[in-house]
Amino acid sequence: MALFFDASWFDGKLAERGLSRAVMAAVAGLSEAELALVFKDQREVSAGQVAAFAELLGASAAEVAERAGVSTPRPSEDPVTALERRVAALEAEVARLRARQN
């Protein structure tokens, strides 16, 4: 996965379609100055902007996210594991309170 914004890839995709960065900015609801920060890897893009870039460039959202340096979301904790963890914490608290009463 790319850890930075791949400006040359985006410029290449824009060139293939005869588009400019100004068009890309407008499609994503960014000013040209804001898009310039994205290209310098000084501003992150939102999920909506990734989707807009993907549609404009004819690429998948996954590829655009990777090329934009969007970090991969961490998988959420398994619901059963989360519940077991919460129950264990509650049981420990109940045990602590009971010990205080005795």
Model confidence at 31: pLDDT above 80: yes
What does residue 51 show for φ and ψ, rounded to 5 degrees?
Answer: -60, -40
Its CATH class, for the domain covering 7-67, is mainly alpha
Rounded distance between C-alpha atoms, residue 87 and residue 21, angstroms: 52
What does residue 89 show for φ and ψ, rounded to 5 degrees?
Answer: -65, -40
Using one digit for the tens of pLDDT, what is the confidence trace for 41-92? 999 898 889 999 999 999 998 899 999 988 644 445 577 777 787 788 788 8
Residue 29, C-beta contacts closer than 8 angstroms, at least 6 positions apart: 48, 49, 52
Q: What are the residue boundaries of the structural domains of the chain, listed by start?
A: 7-67
What does residue 36 show for φ and ψ, rounded to 5 degrees?
Answer: -60, -40
